[in-house]
Structure 1
Amino acid sequence: MKKLILLTLVFLTVFSCGDEVEFNSPALQGSYNNQLWRAKSFGARINETGALTIKGINNAETLELFLPSASVGLYYLGDVDSMEARFTAADGTVYSTNNSNGSPYPDYGEIRLTEILNNTFSGTFRFNAYSESGDVVNFTGGTTEGFNGDTNPPIYGGIFYRVPLLSGTIPLDPIVCEDVIILVNEAEGAYEAATSENLEFIIKADFEAACSNYIAALNNQRDFCGDINGTIQTIIDDLGSCVMSCEDATSNVTEAESQYVTANIGNFNDKCAQYLFYLQEQIEICGDEDGSIQAIIDDLDCGDEDSDGIPNVFENFNGDVDGNLDDPGDDSDGDGIFNYLDNDDDGDGILTQYEAVDLDGNPIDTDGDGDFDYLDNDDDGDGILTINENADPNGDGNPDDAVDTDGDGVPDYLQPL
């Protein structure tokens, strides 16, 4: 109460001695262009989002104060829709703190909500407001002493005292600036994680989601905290439309290509598909004016024609570089079926898919002779062909029934004499 009495006394000092000011309780009044302006009717409303509007009418003139939250605090006015002072003159001209006077983020004013008591609102305000044509009205009291961070007590241009709530409900836990700053920090952290230099790949969907969420959080920060110098809007502008950059897309392709060229039999299909994906994404983001990216895509072979676990490109055994898999040297067992179409490349009765790679995806070479088992018709190097060591008694190509004479868990065809 002492604070309100003091604010009332300060307010009264902004008028000349000739003004007959009678401070009413409740009241909404101020120094309009250095003349007393007093609302004849006034009230407050809270909408479904919790935003507060205080409105006063004096004949044909209207004063409206807009706040994002029904919460005690200091609200800076500027180029933020949720925080605004608006004055409508008798001739219908609208003056708003959200109209620019030539500066992108001019210093318009502030509203202090100092007390919420029994569904009424009290506080002070001061501002300059502009019409669309640049004309100005002010509720400033003719001084800027103590305004915007000055340590001296500020002199305000207007006061509202116990303005009653006419509609809506005061939230029990209204959203305040501190709340949205926490969300901004979380969104910023997620955005930084999605764009970190330590990532193997920048995932387009993750980037777009994190960027959009960050922008939404920053816009909330502007709504609830203000943005008097435009720093928040600058961050939003720098984020742009959350479209992944060509630089990031190209970086993804470079990493995918590196993994593709070093892939082994076990992981080649995945690495090839990954390379193909990022090449297509590069076209989507960067374009492909000369067709060079599409040419790489056209030359890629990520297939496994015979589904034997050996990618087609690993079934080119004659050493040529033309990529032709139908050369005579590409039929390891000489059965007339080229390896890329043969599900038993070495003709030992064990299907290639069961002897190609181990659980880690590495090619298997049981006897260490340099020939992988799927190309070696004597897998254990004991001089007895695999097909003659009862590797597949039931003839289905799966060695799960292979004979293990000594019962040591290693089938005969994989155990040298």
Structure 2
Amino acid sequence: MKNIFYLFIASLVLSACTTDIQTNNPAFQAKFNDATWRAKDARVSIDGDGRFVITAYTQYETIVLRTSIDDIESYNLGTTNQDNYASYDFDGLDFSSSYDTSLFSGPAYKVSNIVNAGTGYANSNNSQTTPVTGSGSGLKFAIETNVNGNITKVSIVSRGDGYVAGDIVSIVGGDNNARVRILNTQQSNGEIVIEEIDNGKYSGTFKFNAVNSSGEVITFSNGVFYNVSGAGL
């Protein structure tokens, strides 16, 4: 059933779109896995909690992009701040499926921040971690330190598994007191960027990985919304 679903989606997307993304005025479009996805309509709104929402449609599909506010800014997805959120729903013929960027356990995707820089550390390309909160395991970092042995930069070299956005890990080494917070996971992540607001018309970019209840992931990349307003496309 899963393979049939993806083949059906691909046929719809390919029949409705050209090979390359082209920006119309206004427009909402992206790469859906390996094909171009273009909305037939898209509208902006402010929900009852004051959050900014773009809802984009095709005949059977709906994409929702939501941010906590409507300022020109970058908004991370799949984090503990679920006011920033993306979803994809398909409902047509004999198929229906829903994917979103809610919190989901999996390999760590990005680091949020260094909670505690620690002491006594040295530069390393393979620093192991232990969980402080949560039950993830296997995450490893490359770390950079200053002359005082404080960690100044971390980058993921092994994502591990079983992490959830907001988990905190301790970095092994030094005095074992450095702490790092996980931003999001590999199955649920992304970014919405509002780049321009002009008389109620919004332009920007987006990308996200979204997951369904079975752990299956879809990817939207190179997303663009251009001059989208409450009036639609």
| TM-score between both structures, scaled by the size of structure 1 | 0.31
% identical aligned pairs: 32
Aligned residue number for residue 66 of structure 1: 66
> What SS is found at the alignment partner of 2:195?
strand
Cα pair 2:45 2:230 within 8 Å, conserved: yes
Q: Give deviations 1:90-141, integer Å, cap 9, x for gaps.
A: 432111111415331215111100011111111000110000110010013x
Counterpart CA distance in 2 for 1:74 and 1:21 is 22
Counterpart CA distance in 2 for 1:134 and 1:101 is 9
The residue identity in structure 2 corresponding to 1:88 is: D
**Shift of residue 23, structure 1, vs aligned partner:** 2.2
For these two proteins, the number of residue pairs brought into alignment is 134
Aligned residue number for residue 162 of structure 1: 227
1:96 equivalenced with 2:118 (yes/no): no
Aligned residue number for residue 172 of structure 2: none
The residue identity in structure 2 corresponding to 1:133 is: S
Select the structure with the greater relative contact order (CA < 8 A; seq sep ≥ 6). Answer: 2
Aligned residue number for residue 55 of structure 1: 55
- The structure carrying a bigger strand percent of its residues is 2
* Equivalent position to 2:193, from 91, 112, 130: 112
Alignment RMSD: 1.9
Counterpart CA distance in 2 for 1:43 and 1:73 is 19
Q: Give deviations 1:150-208, integer Å, cap 9, x for gaps.
A: xxxxxxx20000111259xxxxxxxxxxxxxxxxxxxxxxxxxxxxxxxxxxxxxxxxx
Counterpart CA distance in 2 for 1:21 and 1:49 is 33
Query: Are residues 131 and 99 of structure 1, via their aligned partners in 2, closer, same or farther at CA, if it must alter by over 3 Å?
Result: farther
Q: Give deviations 1:209-251, integer Å, cap 9, x for gaps.
A: xxxxxxxxxxxxxxxxxxxxxxxxxxxxxxxxxxxxxxxxxxx
The residue identity in structure 1 corresponding to 2:212 is: S
Q: Give deviations 1:342-382, integer Å, cap 9, x for gaps.
A: xxxxxxxxxxxxxxxxxxxxxxxxxxxxxxxxxxxxxxxxx
Larger radius of gyration: 1
Aligned residue number for residue 119 of structure 2: none
- The structure carrying a bigger helix percent of its residues is 1
| TM-score between both structures, scaled by the size of structure 2 | 0.54
* Equivalent position to 2:212, from 110, 117, 131: 131
Query: Are residues 81 and 63 of structure 1, via their aligned partners in 2, closer, same or farther at CA, if it must alter by over 3 Å?
Result: same
Counterpart CA distance in 1 for 2:96 and 2:228 is 25
**Shift of residue 78, structure 1, vs aligned partner:** 1.3
Counterpart CA distance in 2 for 1:118 and 1:33 is 33
Counterpart CA distance in 2 for 1:23 and 1:75 is 22
Dislocated runs of 4+, deviation >2 Å? 20-23, 47-50, 89-92
Counterpart CA distance in 2 for 1:94 and 1:101 is 17
Any stretches of 5+ residues in structure 2 without a counterpart?
A: 1-17, 107-162, 166-184
Cα pair 1:101 1:130 within 8 Å, conserved: no
The residue identity in structure 2 corresponding to 1:104 is: V
Counterpart CA distance in 1 for 2:190 and 2:70 is 19
Cα pair 1:116 1:122 within 8 Å, conserved: yes
1:42 equivalenced with 2:42 (yes/no): yes
> What SS is found at the alignment partner of 2:104?
coil
Cα pair 1:52 1:68 within 8 Å, conserved: yes
Aligned pairs (5 A) from 1:251-330: none
Counterpart CA distance in 2 for 1:20 and 1:74 is 25
Cα pair 2:21 2:29 within 8 Å, conserved: no
Aligned residue number for residue 31 of structure 2: 31
